[in-house]
Amino acid sequence: MAGISDAEMEIMKALWAKSPQTLPELVAGVGVKNSWEPTTVATLLSRLVGKKAVVQEGERRNYSYRPLMRRGEYVRRELAGVLNRGLGPACPAAFFQNGGEPDSDELAEILKMIDDGDKKL
């Protein structure tokens, strides 16, 4: 899945909270909350469909949308990417990509690597 902008993330959060949703439902929720016009919400949905983050189902004028990835899976992938970019391949971030949960030793090791890196700045 290609990078998701902050505005697109608002749509994703709404779909993770309740899915599927139609364009009017998303406009009434996330659109109103962010003062977005219906065309803005439609554009964001179109981008998310293009990025394969969201699937569009149904027939024209009655489309519904749902996310293709669970929120936890997305967060794990993003966090693993940040850790790998920031700490390098020695980072024990592989468990994020595999959906596992870090144990206390792995978390301590990650925090130590971050702290050590900050001391070198």
pLDDT computed for residue 56 by the predictor: 96
Same structural domain, 13 and 49? yes
Task: Report which of residues 112 and 58 the model is more confident about.
Answer: 58
Per-residue pLDDT at 121: 46
- Both 54 and 34 in one domain: the answer is yes
| 57 and 103 assigned to the same domain | no
56 and 13 in a common domain: yes
Q: What is the CATH number of the domain that holds 22?
A: 1.10.10.10
pTM of the model: 0.72
Residue 94 lies in a domain: yes
Higher pLDDT, 47 or 117: 47
> Given this model, what pLDDT does residue 97 score?
54
Q: Are residues 39 and 58 in the same domain?
A: yes
Q: Using one digit for the tens of pLDDT, what is the confidence trace for 60-77? A: 888 999 999 888 888 777
Residue 56: which domain range? 6-67
Confidence of residue 101 (pLDDT cuts 50, 70, 90): low
Could you write out the three-class secondary structure of the chain?
CCCCCHHHHHHHHHHHHCCCEEHHHHHHHHHHHCCCCHHHHHHHHHHHHHCCCEEEECCCCCCEEEECCCHHHHHHHHHHHHHHHHHCCCCCCHHHHCCCCCCHHHHHHHHHHHHHHHHCC
Q: Considering its fold, how many domains does the chain have in total?
A: 2
Say whether both 59 and 17 belong to one domain: yes
Residue 95 lies in a domain: yes
How high is the pLDDT of residue 92? 58
Does residue 1 belong to any structural domain of this protein? no
Give the chain's largest Cα–Cα span: 56
